[in-house]
Amino acid sequence: MDRIVIISSGLAGAKTAARIKRQAPSAEVNLIVPIEVEEGSKEGVFGKFNPMAHVSSVLLDAKQISVLPVSSMELDFENKTVHASSPQGCIPIRYTKLIMEIDAAPRLPRSVRGAQNVIPWPLEQTGVVDEWLEAYKPQTAVVYGGAHAMSLIDPLVEAGVVVTWARSECSEFDPDFWHVVSDKIESGTEGKVRVVPVTETAVLPELSAEGDVRALNCGSEVLEGDVFFWADMPRAVHPIVAEQGVDLDPSGFIAVKEDFSCGLEDVHLFGSAVAVKRAEVAGKSDAPFEASSVDSLVAHGRVLSAIALGQTMAWQGSCASSRYQAADCVAFRTGLTQKEAVEAGYEPEFVMFDAAPVLAGIHANAVVKLVCDKATSVVLGAQVCGGLDAGWIDAVASGTAVALAANMTVQALSGVDMAAGGQILNKAASMLSNKLEERIYGITPDELIASREAGAKFFILDLRDQIAWRAGHIEEAYNIPFTQLKKRLQDEVPRFTPLVIVSHNSDIPYSIACYLYGLGAKSLYVLDGGMDLWPYDVVEG
């Protein structure tokens, strides 16, 4: 009889075990849970934070799956045996196939490993953080890290802790989009969270006489706090990486083949520490990957259940979707970022704009960035940020994943009939199509400033109303409200000077640029993101 052993403490492993048992009732399925979470640890703000990550033993018992919580275990890959230490003693469990969920773990710098007030994040036993908060009752916390740090903000604020987020650079999002995400989080916490961008490549901890961390020197500012969370990019830290045949990919995750095998016989790995195959886009699939959501891991488990049962596998690779949320803000990334596209050998083009005018009821700071390949027009990825109640965000992610799987061009995507978030993708794809045909060019704030400093001449046309104009505008910009443009166009807008069209966002400027292109205008630029995303000083009055 086949014995399939699954080692996992998460929902994805439990669902995989249940699916295998349902499809092959005669197979013996054992689920080994490495960490037994105490009931009391689920009562705190961190214990309640992600209940989907916990195994439901009641559910599994109903599925006739053997669940064994263990305090420790040893793996004998040569003899295909797991030696598990449980309350019943040491139990040897032989397997025909072994499926393991391995999570990435944070690595603390050596200088802070002995400090009692530094907590690495993410932790598998989140209840430990609740116990720490209850014992020490800190008033202030400093959180250092990128997108992984977002999961700390809501529980800490709920616990009454004032948070300073030392926001590091984040490979999950492009820099121009990343500051939009963090700005929205800061504005949505009503002063309970302060965001400090880290300008140096590494922060320097300042230690107290007792050896605890007193402050972090982040280059631009020294941040003091009672407790420090280290949420920098995690890596694969697991005994299995020392086994012969198990390799790490360049990003520090465990490299596996298309069937999730890792070089050990009948052993298959998944989890946030595993670099699974990327879905191919225009023939390339060598960009970095991180599975950071429960949904991603459940999808991997679905494929693993078919592999364990010897069924035909229809695995096309991952679209690299990552979802983060904090303070009424959800940020999603699907496919490649602009930076990853360059590293993968593409020449990317992008459009970034405020999605609020496209759909009614969208939060004012709902922002979308769509990336494609200049040479082929193929969609490479999307990033989106908005309010938690904006269900269209998930629709954008799903629509982008479909476009990636189909190697869809932006021209094709602009014509696909989709509802809700699909309208955002249609709009973004249409804007990109115009860019690629060189009817209209996009220009970022950095490019605009650099070009002007290099001596380039632009006529910056601001289409906002007088109230918005007086509140703040780009230096040397010229204001013609959108409703007056047709009357004043011929007399006040130069014909042969490159034109940069500006408004609150990129939506109206793209429409106006298309209109002007139809009239024969050339050298038309749209400020990407508009004034809502302008990060520099403005002129008032």
- Of the three residues 204, 231, 258, the one that is the final residue of a domain is 231
Helix 392-405 × helix 421-436 angle, to 10°: 50
Q: Give Cα separations from 19 to 3, 7, 63 (angstroms).
A: 14, 15, 9
Which segment of 37-51, 205-219, 289-303, 342-356 scores lowest on mean pLDDT? 37-51
- Flag whether pLDDT at 264 surpasses 90: yes
What is the pLDDT at residue 383? 92
Rounded mean pLDDT, 347-361: 72
Over range 251-255, report the average pLDDT: 85
Asked whether residue 395 falls in the same domain as residue 425, the answer is yes
Greatest pairwise CA separation for the chain in angstroms? 89
CB distance 383 to 369 below 8 Å: yes
Peptide bond into 106 cis (omega under 30): no
Q: Provide the pLDDT for residue 379.
A: 92
Answer yes or no: do 432 and 447 share one domain.
no
By C-alpha distance, which of 302, 328, 334, 318 is closest to 399? 334
pLDDT at 327: 84
Q: Which of 68-77, 183-192, 263-272, 491-500 has the highest mean pLDDT?
A: 263-272
Claim to verify: residue 40 and residue 138 sit in the same structural domain = no
pLDDT higher for 284 or 413?
Answer: 413
Rounded Cα distance, 506 and 444, in Å: 11
Q: Is residue 319 situated within a structural domain?
A: no
What span, in angstroms and rounded, lies between the C-alpha atoms of 30 and 501? Answer: 63
Omega cis (within 30) before 197: no
First to last CA, the chain: 80
Listed range (34-38, 193-197, 525-529) with the worst mean pLDDT: 34-38
- Exposed e or buried b for every residue in 387-416, given b needs 16+ CB within 10 A? beebebbbbbbbbbbbbbeeebbbebbbee
Are both 138 and 241 inside the same structural domain? Answer: no
Q: What is the pLDDT of residue 421?
A: 67
Of 406, 421, 436, which one is at a domain's C-terminal end?
Answer: 436
Element (H or E) spanning 40, and its range?
none
For residue 353, tell me if it sits in a domain.
Answer: yes
Q: How far is CA 30 from the centre of its chain?
A: 33
The CA distance from 144 to 139, in Å, is 17
Dist. CA 339–CA 505, nearest whole Å: 23
**What crossing angle do the helices spanning 421-436 and 507-518 adopt, rounded to 10°?**
40
* Domain enclosing residue 458, as ranges: 441-533
What confidence tier does 363 reach under pLDDT thresholds 50, 70, 90? very low
What tokens were used for 517? 């292109």
Domain holding 474: CATH number?
A: 3.40.250.10
- C-alpha–C-alpha distance, residues 255 and 22, integer Å: 30
Taking residues 452-459, what's their average pLDDT? 88
pLDDT winner (highest mean) among 323-327, 419-423, 466-470: 466-470
Is the domain of 100 the same as that of 241?
A: yes
Number of domains into which the chain is organized: 4
Q: Is residue 135 part of a domain?
A: yes
Q: Which residue has the higher pLDDT, 496 or 153?
A: 153
Continuous H helices in 407-530:
410-414, 421-436, 445-453, 466-471, 485-492, 507-518
Please give the residue that has the higher pLDDT: either 250 or 349: 349
Is residue 343 domain-shared with residue 372, that is, in the same domain? Answer: yes
pLDDT the model gives residue 420 = 63
**pLDDT-derived band of residue 55, with 50, 70 and 90 as boundaries?**
low
Q: What is the pLDDT of residue 356?
A: 64
Q: How confident is the model at residue 521 (pLDDT cuts 50, 70, 90)?
A: confident
352, 365: one domain: yes
Q: Within its chain, how far is the Cα of 50 from the centroid? A: 17
Order of strands across the sheet with 367-373? 322-326, 329-335, 379-386, 367-373, 348-354
Give me the pLDDT at residue 66, please: 79
User: Is 193 found in the same domain as 258?
Assistant: no
Q: Mean of the pLDDT values across residues 221-228?
A: 91
In a domain, 55, yes or no: yes
pLDDT at 62 over 70: no
pLDDT given for residue 60 in this prediction: 57
Which is nearest to 256 in space by CA: 423, 70, 474, 99? 99
Structure tokens, 467: 């109230």
Name residue 311's amino acid: Q
pLDDT reported for residue 342: 87
3-state secondary structure of 467: helix
Share of residues in the chain with pLDDT > 70 (%) = 87
- Chain-wide mean pLDDT for the chain? 83
Tell how strand 254-255 and strand 274-275 pair up: parallel
Whether 321 maps to a domain, the answer reads no
Query: Is 539 inside a domain boundary?
Result: no
Domain presence at residue 520: yes
Which pLDDT score is estimated for 166? 92
Residue 38 has pLDDT above 70, yes or no: no
Check: pTM over 0.75? Answer yes or no. yes
**Confidence band of 360 (pLDDT split at 50, 70, 90):** low
- The answer, yes or no, to whether residue 94 has pLDDT greater than 90, is yes
- Write out pLDDT tens, residues 105-151: 888 888 888 888 999 988 767 777 888 888 888 999 999 998 889 98
User: In the structure, what pLDDT confidence band is assigned to residue 280 with cuts at 50, 70 and 90?
Assistant: low
Question: Given a cut of 70, is residue 97 above it in pLDDT?
Answer: yes
Count CB atoms within 10 A of the CB of residue 341.
25
User: CA nearest 438: which of 385, 513, 380, 527?
Assistant: 513
Best mean pLDDT range from 193-207, 408-422, 444-458: 444-458
User: Which band of pLDDT confidence, cut at 50, 70 and 90, is reported for residue 362?
Assistant: very low
**pLDDT above 80: residue 319:** no
- Whether 313 is covered by a domain: the verdict is no
Among 383, 407, 436, give the residue marking a domain's end: 436
* CATH number of the domain bearing residue 172: 3.50.50.60
* Residue 266: predicted pLDDT: 93
Report the pLDDT averaged over residues 229-244: 86
The helix or strand, by DSSP H or E, that contains position 307, with its residue range, turns out to be helix 294-308
537 burial level (CB within 10 Å; 0-12, 13-18, 19+): exposed
Measured in whole angstroms, the distance separating CA 326 from the mean position of its chain's CA atoms is 12
Tell whether 396 and 355 lie within a shared domain.
yes
Q: Which residue has the tokens 């700390």?
A: 152
118 and 226 housed in the same domain: yes
Statement: residue 382 has pLDDT above 50:
yes
The predicted structure's pLDDT at residue 413: 92
Strands 267-270 and 97-101: parallel
Q: How confident is the model at residue 364 (pLDDT cuts 50, 70, 90)?
A: very low
